[in-house]
């Protein structure tokens, strides 16, 4: 699936060129649409012109040719030229020097009409397609954040990311930490997930702010929806079910170590399929996964919890 989720503004270059980007924990590269992209896919996007930035430097490979980036987001992909430039965010409170970025000259049609102009990857170094430091690692190395953490608060059509700290006004109680078990993704081990009469054991889950839904492999998603009366596959990886049946369902419970996370049933679906439809879009979808026991926890999960990604607590 292409990256979808909450986006915000960053600036690149000198003088600053502004772009709306997805802040995506499921990838580790920074790219924006290039002015060299002339296809209709790029027509509705702001475009970066590196020739207009006096702080831009091209990345060169050993043969003195421009280095390139190619990123595959499942059904979406981009290709671009790599360079280094100044990247500003948080209204200029954070300014990353010489961050490796790509200006994307080719985008797949999955990005046509999207309201954002690029992606700001917040994944770990092992996920970087450019083989360069992801931007949050650059922030840490350049001493731009007080702590090596960032925290995500998302609600319906709103949210914020705290770089370098934790906003205690955004949650109640204490934060429960689970181990990160991967060098590329923010990934946790799930001992069990319970929903109605279904029980799933020993899964791995990627925290992905760039995805809207909770994504399971096809078999798990099918078993999950068997517990919902009237649920049906929409044929594109998504599922729907009669909205009235939400009231008959119990919560989804996820257990990881000593931590138990509970999502009530009324948070596990999206709005009705259309203005006149009595069916709602399920918050759980399916797709082919690289490993069969892996899931992706997108915004349907994140909007229920204040989520802290702490580089000091990586395994």
Instruction: Dump the DSSP string for 184-215.
Output: SS-EEEEEEEEETTEEEEEEEEEE-TT-SSEE
pLDDT-based confidence at 64, cuts 50/70/90? low
pLDDT at 313: 64
| Alpha-carbon span 29 to 129, nearest angstrom | 7
pLDDT of the residue at 2: 46
pLDDT given at position 272: 81
Judge residue 84's burial from the number of C-beta atoms within 10 Å of its C-beta, 0-12 exposed, 13-18 middle, 19 or more buried. Answer: middle
**Is residue 279 over pLDDT 60?**
yes
The closest of 235, 236, 246 to 280, measured between CA atoms, is: 246
Q: Which of 182, 208, 220, 299 is catalytic?
A: 208
Whether pLDDT at 166 is above 50:
yes
Please determine whether the domains at 7-144 and 187-313 fall in the same fold group of CATH. Answer: yes
Residue 65 pLDDT: 59
Could you report the per-residue pLDDT of 181-229, keeping only the tens digit for each? Answer: 999 999 999 999 999 999 999 999 999 999 999 999 999 999 999 999 9
- Please say if 65 is a catalytic residue: no
Choose, from 24, 110, 133, 286, the residue flagged as catalytic. Answer: 24
Query: Which residues are CB-neighbours of 281 under 8 A, at least 6 positions away?
Result: 238, 239, 240, 269, 270, 271, 272, 273
Q: Annotated catalytic, 299?
A: no
| Span 235-242, average pLDDT | 95
Instruction: Please give the pLDDT value at position 314.
Output: 55
CB atoms within 10 A of CB 73: 20
**Cα 264–chain centre separation:** 22
C-alpha distance from residue 156 to each of 153, 241, 246, 264, 267 (Å): 11, 21, 19, 16, 11
Q: Is 216 within 8 Å of 254 (Cβ atoms)?
A: no
Q: Domain 7-144, what fold?
A: Cathepsin D, subunit A; domain 1 (2.40.70)
Is residue 269 over pLDDT 50?
Answer: yes
Two structure tokens written together for 170: 């955004």
Structure pTM?
Answer: 0.92
- State yes or no: pLDDT of 4 exceeds 70: no
The larger pLDDT score, comparing residue 272 to residue 49, is at: 49
For 75-92, what is each residue's pLDDT tens digit? Answer: 689 999 999 999 999 999
- Spans of all domains in the chain: 7-144, 187-313
> Model confidence at 44, in pLDDT bands (50, 70, 90)?
confident
The CA distance from 27 to 138, in Å, is: 15
Rounded CA separation 85/55 (Å)? 6
Written as six digits, the tokens of 113 are 């009409």
Domain 187-313 has CATH 3.10.20.740: no
In the 3-class helix/strand/coil scheme, how is 139-167 assigned residue by residue? HHHCCCCCCCEEEEEEECCEEEEEECCCC
């Amino acid at each position: 699936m292409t990256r979808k989720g909450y986006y915000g503004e960053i600036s690149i270059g000198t003088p600053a060129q502004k772009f709306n980007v997805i802040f995506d924990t499921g990838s580790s590269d920074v790219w924006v649409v290039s002015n060299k992209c002339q296809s209709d896919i790029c027509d509705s996007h702001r475009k970066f012109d590196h020739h207009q930035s006096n702080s831009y430097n091209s990345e060169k490979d050993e043969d003195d040719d421009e280095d390139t980036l190619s990123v595959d987001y499942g059904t979406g992909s981009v290709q671009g030229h790599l360079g280094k430039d100044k990247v500003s965010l948080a209204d200029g409170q954070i300014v990353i020097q010489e961050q490796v970025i790509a200006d994307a000259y080719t985008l797949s049609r999955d990005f046509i009409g999207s309201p954002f102009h690029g992606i700001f990857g917040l994944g770990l170094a092992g996920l970087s397609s450019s083989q360069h430091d992801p931007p949050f690692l650059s922030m840490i190395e350049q001493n731009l954040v007080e702590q090596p953490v960032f925290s995500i608060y998302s609600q319906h059509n709103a949210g914020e990311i705290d770089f370098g700290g934790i906003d205690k006004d955004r949650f109640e109680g204490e934060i429960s930490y689970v181990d990160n078990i991967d060098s590329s993704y923010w990934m946790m081990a799930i001992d069990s997930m319970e929903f109605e009469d279904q029980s799933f054991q020993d899964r791995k889950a990627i925290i992905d702010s760039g995805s809207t839904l909770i994504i399971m492999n096809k078999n798990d998603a099918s078993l999950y929806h068997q517990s919902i009366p009237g649920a049906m596959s929409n044929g594109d990886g998504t599922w729907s079910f009669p909205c009235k049946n939400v009231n008959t369902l119990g919560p989804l419970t996820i257990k990881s170590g000593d931590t138990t996370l509970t999502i009530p049933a009324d948070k596990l679906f999206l709005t009705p399929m259309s203005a006149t439809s009595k069916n709602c879009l399920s918050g759980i979808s399916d797709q082919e996964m690289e490993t069969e026991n892996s899931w992706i926890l997108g915004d349907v999960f994140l909007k229920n919890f204040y989520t802290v990604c702490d580089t000091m607590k990586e395994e």
